Chains A and B, each alone.
Chain A
Amino acid sequence: MALRMTVQTQLIVQALLKDPGRELYGFELSAETGLLPGTAYPILLRLENERWVTSRWEDIDPRTEKRPARRYYRLTAAGAVQARAAIAGARRPSGSALRRLAAEGGQA
């Protein structure tokens, strides 16, 4: 499955590329990119299937923390290289596209 670098995919990849070693969970990613979770999730699945991204469940006791475990996502070493190349090669999202996305996503 070839990875299409849509505007939304670029936003997620860029958020992960800010600090490739850092793990981000769904809510953080959503807040950073302005994308709603239903948009972000298929993209993360695709990135994971292409092995650009790896994910893991947070190791906590939900009863102690009083919240469910989070799923953390991180770029793989190879994924970071490929992501940088893909971002460099991709068309930059226009200002209007970003504004439209922000309007759609709101403060997720």
Chain B
Amino acid sequence: MNDSTGTTRRAPRAAISKSSVLAGATLIFVWGVLGFINGDVAAVVIGAANTAAGGVIVINAVLGNPLGRLHGFRTGTTRKAPRAAVSKLAVLFGASSVNSGLLAALSPRFNDGSRVLAILGALLAVVGVVQVIKAVLIDPIEGGFHPLRSRGLPSIVPWRAAGRGAVPVAGAGVVARAGWRAMRIAAWLMPPAVGRRWLAEARSFLTETPPGMQRRAIGSYLAGAPKVIAMCWAIALARWARLARRGPRPR
């Protein structure tokens, strides 16, 4: 599969993760329907919550992934964006499955079959947590989301690459380092291409900022992050809706 830069994307893997998530979404939807038939309220609630998250992934699978191709947000490194977006959606899916695990443990309404499915849902949440840890510890600008893998090395312990993304602050103290980590979390909450660009611009800015101003600049970036997150997702969703109205792109 060729993207807009003419480079070859590793499509099969992304397709596999999409299909597995779709399969999971369908399973949970069916579970919710069965719960409705059997009067299992907890199963209905969980089925609905997870199907909503799964629906996002269905749209993503049908339309391709517009999140990584926002107008004007290109960083020059958009090649990895689609996969990052897929895993991000998988995380959302997994996170919404946390309630499955909790309810499975707590609710007397669950029968054994429901409990097994709920625990499977909770396992997805574990995948989500790993993704969050990777996003926080691995610098998406210098290393990408899989810095070791991109160099042909196995990425068994992804956080070993954490040192690669040095804090771009002179004599970085604890506060600056914590601030930069918080910025990575904020960037992770944005669509992938926007997050990488935001961090790259921040890095560039901080490198040129006098040491006395750097903490203030980081604070300002963090204070402005919620606005950027809301704005860029609004733009992404508007673009998504536009694409949905237009129908799938011809291949």
Question: Which A residues lie at the B interface, using CB under 8 A?
Answer: 1, 25-27, 30, 36-39, 41-42, 45-46, 48-49, 54-55, 57, 67-71, 106-108
Contacts and interface: CB of A to CB of B under 8 A. Distances in A.
Contacts of A26: 201, 204-205
B231 A45 contact: yes
Contacts of B52: none
Interface in B206-236: 207-209, 213, 216-217, 219-225, 227-228, 231-232, 234-235
B103 interface: no
B168 interface: yes
A55 B217 CA distance: 21
Given A36-B216, A37-B201, A49-B71, 12 more contacts: A1-B235, A27-B209, A37-B202, A38-B222, A39-B220, A41-B198, A57-B75, A68-B203, A69-B204, A106-B213, A108-B213, A108-B216
B200 interface: yes
Nearest to B168: A68
Interface residues of B, number: 33
A10 B156 CA distance: 50
Contacts of A36: 216-217, 220, 224
A41 B217 CA distance: 12
B3 to A, nearest CB: 18
B108 interface: no
Contacts of A57: 75-76
A55 B197 CA distance: 11
A49 to B, nearest CB: 6
B72 interface: yes
Nearest to B232: A45
B197 to A, nearest CB: 7
16 contacts: A1-B238, A26-B201, A27-B205, A37-B202, A37-B205, A37-B220, A38-B225, A45-B231, A49-B235, A67-B204, A68-B168, A69-B204, A70-B204, A108-B209, A108-B216, A108-B217
Contacts of B203: 68
